[in-house]
Structure 1
Amino acid sequence: MRSTIDWRRNPVGFIALLGPPLVWFLVFFAVPMAVVLGYSFGTNSGLTEIEISGTFANYARALEPLYLGILGKSLLFSALATLICLLVGFPVALAIAFAPPNLKTWLLIGVMLPFWTNLLIRTYALIAILRDEGVINGVLSFLLGWAGFEPLRLMNTNTAVVIGLVYVHLPFMVLPLYAALDRLDRSLIEAALDLGASHLRAVMTVVVPLAGAGIASGLLLTFIPVLGSYLAPDLLGGPDSLMIANVIERQFKRANDWPFGAALAFLLMYMTFAGILMQALWKGRRPADAD
């Protein structure tokens, strides 16, 4: 006979379980974020002092054309990188979901393996591939040297930034897609094939709609960290490849303008909350739409 625990009558166990993560959340997330939020409504009153005056001047400055242009470029880079991650990650996740059980584990380890390596090391490895004397130009020079091949200029370009963003964040797309595809009722796919649908049509008309929640989660989980990425634009991009996270980093480090940096950071956070809210509303409407 199963026994249930009434947490209202025995709150000690509930508090013991909730207490440590709640304290961790408050001390290392909520309180620092509240401090940064306060800074966004402040002004510099000295070299190291910030006066929280309740001003909205930092947010007004963040909406100037210069910073809106950088934000728009960041959104464009993030959307493009997220779309490429979806186009590349969906076939990978589909292949893993339909792989034999003994091979599936190794494929998942291969997807998660980049997380075990420092991000800075991975970015420098990509530099070794993209630079003028790197792997790509070396292979092309070997194959096309007879035709007077000139090295491709890949480093310090917007293309290198997008490649770096996709390279770093692709696992964020593959894993939620795999989780959704692995739960699919495969009899529906078999029925579509039996009724004469091609494999491509079965994927587009059966698999993609059923994996909609996983696709939405993958898009959100990929887009948010891509939008906040600053290492790839800093190391792979040129002067015109700055993203909004690079501007935030420079406000805190070089310009020593913490209030403005905090306002830019929370502008990103507001956009993140809006994206999460849109996904929650879309997910909440799915059962009604299905009916």
Structure 2
Amino acid sequence: MAGVASSSRQRSKIAPYLMILPALVYLGIFFVIPFFTLARTSLSSTGGSVFLPTLTFSWDFANYTEAFSHYRDQIIRSFTYAGVATVLCLVMAFPLAYVIAFKAGRYKNLILGLVILPFFVTFLIRTIAWKTILADDGWVVSALGAIGLLPDEGRLLSTSYAVIGGLTYNWIIFMILPLYVSLEKIDPRLIEASKDLYSSNARAFRKVILPLAMPGVLAGSMLVFIPAVGDFINADYLGSTQTTMIGNVIQKQFLVVKDYPNAAALSMVLMVIILVGVLLYTRALGTEDLV
């Protein structure tokens, strides 16, 4: 009996590791190995012909200095656009998530479905649709010009406004859903209690709702900001050569120029900056309730 009990305890200790083994294998194959391959490529030098390049690992840190010196503007622009888009997503998503969580009643599922429905269309098609909407001969430009918000011969397409607008539209769903989940967890009696204590609506929002919704704010901000920084579709279709983001540079270096070490170095720089920024952001807001 003692042997059976000991064997049972041994299996119970191993079981959790066996359960996570598939996930670890998946991460090892599709994340760890590609990451080290990318890091190795970023420290390599290229040779051979343009059509058949060869890579030689040579600890070439000049790839990183070149990435900073040549593409500093694109890096700064990418983080600026992504930051503005994240703020816009938060400002627009919070009221909508609040209404769905507290005011929608029996229409809650219907509104959630309507929010999610446009995102069944592919990312590329939605971006091209915005290119049509913001075209110089489109109704948006005509309407803004008619009310004086755009000067004569003014345009929206191929500007930073179009790129930021595209980023905001394409990623806002990833802000709405985490905010909705966090707000739905809030007990309405807490808000009623704050009102009983003579708290104004603004104070109740600042002292009760916002702190309890902070996990959703944190999760939504990261889910929007991180992919927006590396996006190149919106800048490619809605922007111009003056609104190029770092994702466009990496895509071109990999697929057109075929300068793999430079492209890999840019990718590593982007990942490191994002990682540092995320760590500082989560430390500032706290992650204890982010479950």
Q: TM range, normalised to the smaller chain?
A: 0.7 to 0.9
- Alpha-carbon distance, 1:25 to partner: 2.0
Determine which of 120, 144, 147 is the counterpart of 2:124: 120
- Matched with 1:93 is 97
**Structure 2 Cα separation of the partners of residues 25 and 187 of structure 1:** 43
Aligned to 2:56: 51
Paired AA for residue 138 in structure 2: G
Instruction: State the Cα distance separating 1:12 from its structure 2 match.
Output: 7.1
Contact 1:7-1:13 at 8 Å conserved across structures: no
Q: 1:211 aligns with which of 203, 210, 213?
A: 213
Q: Secondary structure, in 3 states, of the residue corresponding to 1:156? A: coil
CA pair 8-121 structure 1, distance change in 2 beyond 3 A: farther
| Separation (CA, whole Å) in 2 of partners of 1:279 and 1:9 | 40
Match of 2:39 among 37, 40, 46: 37
Separation in 1, partners of 2:211, 2:167: 27
Runs of at least 5 residues in structure 2 that lack an aligned partner in the other structure: 1-6
8 Å Cα contact 1:128/1:135 also seen in 2: no
| Selected match of 1:243 from 227, 242, 245 | 245
What is the CA–CA distance in structure 2 between the aligned matches of 1:206 and 1:13, rounded to whole Å? 41
1:102-181 equivalent positions in 2, closer than 5 A: 102-139=106-143, 150=152, 152-181=154-183
Change (3 A) 1:175 1:151: farther
- Structure 1 gap segments, 5+ residues each: none
Contact 1:137–1:151 (Cα < 8 Å) also in 2:
no
The alpha-carbon deviation at position 236 of structure 1 amounts to 0.3
- In the TM superposition, 1:58-77 aligns within 5 A as 58-64=63-69, 66-77=70-81
**Contact 1:58/1:259, CA 8 A, preserved across alignment:** yes
SS of structure 1 residue aligned to 2:56? strand
CA distance in 2, matches of 1:118, 1:217: 23
SS in 2 for 1:45: strand
Between the aligned residues of both structures, percent identity stands at: 36
The number of aligned residues is 278
Match of 1:20 among 13, 19, 22: 22
Following superposition, the deviation at residue 172 of structure 1 comes to 1.2
CA distance in 1, matches of 2:55, 2:152: 53
Show CA shifts across 1:196-247 (max 9, x none): 3332332233211222222122212211111011000011001110011111
RMSD: 2.6
Question: CA 1:128–1:278 in structure 2 vs 1: closer, same or farther (change >3 Å)?
Answer: same
Alignment TM-score, normalising by the size of structure 1: 0.86
**Partner AA of 1:177 in structure 2:** L
In the TM superposition, 1:195-206 aligns within 5 A as: 195-206=197-208
User: What is the TM-score with the length of structure 2 in the denominator?
Assistant: 0.86
Structure 1 residue 101: deviation in Å?
Answer: 4.4
- Partner of 1:78 in structure 2? 82
**How far does the alpha carbon of each residue in 1:168-213 deviate from its partner, in whole angstroms, 9 at most, with x for none?**
0111111111111111122221122233333233223321122222
